Amino acid sequence: MLKRRGCDCIFTVGKQSPSNNWPNQCENCGLAPVHLLALSLAGVNQNWDFHLDINQKDFLDNRPLHFAAMASRTDPEIFIKLVDMGANIGSVTTFGETFLHLLFRHLLVKNVSKFIPLLRRLEALNFSFTSRDYFGRQPFHAFLRRCQGGRDFLLDDVDTLKEAFAIAKPDFDAPNCAGHSLRSLLSAVSGNKMSKRTVNLLLSSYPKSKNIAVDFQIKMKNLLSKADYNWSMLAEWLAIENRMVWIDHQGNTALIALLKCWSSDQDELLLEDIIKGMVRMGAQIHMRDRKGETALAIAARRGLWPAVTTLIALGASIHSTTLRGMSILKNARKSLSQAKRDGDDKLYARVWSCIVYLVDLKACELPSERRERWAAWAPDAHFDWEGKGEKETNIHQALVELGFL
């Protein structure tokens, strides 16, 4: 049985014919027969209904390749078969996860050697093994986190990992939002003295990244303190060592640090062009900081209206929450109350304008997990607006109901 989190639909897998008796795509979550077929693949000889779309997405942006990665019994040949059929290896979920992120969640160390041919195939197809989800995790982050709770490393395990690393070439020093790098995770894995010594020798063969000492907030503060700061100079600096997607030791990306450091004395209208320029260079607007805040959440609570409108236009989710479950709207509301207590009328007005804009877009003060995780294109009709006053069309009345007035 497969029960979707946040959805009431339940399907029995493997007992019915995919082409005849399985239900159509679920109107609530987007689960379709093609996803169940991928999830139930028992081997490479499984018959595939070629009328089914190999890249069909559910409302979490999972494709058949993701479902195959979540299967309890996974054969490496299945993925090669799906890739040969045209599966998009670069597709990501609503949390930025590739199928390899999901596969590595439950891959055992002893089975890594079986997947070496798959890794070689992905390498030939220019798959990005350093691709990060929206919490900054590379696929090998998930694998090494699992290893920490498993059995001790043996020498054979280290040799297999060495071969996998030689193919994937992951960034060993790139931390996730929590500050854990592959180097630190691998160093923490238990093992006997000989295997630990081999692990340390392996890590020493990979030079440390030049970005380890980067502090984006200090860089942004120094830049913005100059009256004649030059965006092109910042862009040039960020282009070095792939810093645009780097997460510093405080859990900030360059974009997040920019929004945290932007001074109220600066011209807010400049933010639109700067943000668009950073996104063109590869900045990820969905990435979270150490608290789980997105760039949009930070811009909203700081009252940076041009940044809020620009980020939303670029596809930022208005329903994201922090690691403690705090929504963008609720965070902005706290900032509004603090501005009122401090007598900061300018900040109060700026945050207020952001709140009005978010409420007009039906942002939820207490979004459910389902609402946060569902893809941006999932119809609003699937969710009764989860804020108070859901039937109100007047913004002022909605703000009264939400307690802002």
User: Does 21 score more than 60 pLDDT?
Assistant: no
Considering the domain 2-204 in this protein, what is its CATH number?
1.25.40.20
The pLDDT of residue 362: 85
| Distance, CA of 373 to CA of 95 (rounded, Å) | 7
Residue 49, pLDDT score: 63
Please choose, from the candidates 254, 304, 293, 260, the residue with its C-alpha nearest in 3D space to the C-alpha of residue 277.
254
Please report, for the chain, the start and end positions of each structural domain, with discontinuous segments joined by +.
2-204, 219-402
Q: Tens digits of per-residue pLDDT, 185-237? A: 988 877 767 777 888 888 999 999 999 999 999 999 988 887 777 788 888 88
What pLDDT shows up at residue 391?
37
CA distances in angstroms from 309 to 1, 161, 242, 260, 399, listed in the order given: 42, 45, 27, 17, 19
Q: How far is Cα 271 from Cα 388, in angstroms, rounded to an integer?
A: 32
Tracing tokens 């990979």 back to the chain, one arrives at 206
Q: What does the pLDDT look like over 340-376, one tens digit per residue?
A: 999 999 999 999 999 999 998 888 888 877 788 876 6
How many beta carbons lie within 10 A of that of residue 51, not counting itself? 9
Helix 270-280 vs helix 305-313: angle between axes, to the nearest 10 degrees?
30
Name the residue with tokens 């018959």. Answer: 47
Q: Give the Cβ contact number of residue 14 at 10 Å.
A: 11
pLDDT per residue as tens digits for the range 97-131: 999 999 998 888 888 899 999 999 999 999 999 99
Q: Phi/psi of residue 2, each to 5°?
A: -125, 115
Would you say the C-alpha torsion 250, 253, 256, 260 has a positive or negative sign? positive
How far is residue 352's CA from residue 339's CA, in Å, rounded to a whole number?
Answer: 10
Using alpha carbons only, how large is the chain's radius of gyration in Å? 23
**Quick one: pLDDT band at residue 151, thresholds 50, 70, 90?**
low
Burial 76-85, CB ≥16 within 10 A → b, else e: bebbbbbbee
Domain 2-204 and domain 219-402 have a common topology: yes
What CATH architecture does domain 219-402 belong to? Alpha Horseshoe (1.25)
Q: What is the DSSP string of 184-244?
A: HHHHHS-B-HHHHHHHHHHHHTSPPPTTTT--HHHHHHHHHTSTT--HHHHHHHHHGGGGG
Q: What is the pLDDT of residue 260?
A: 96
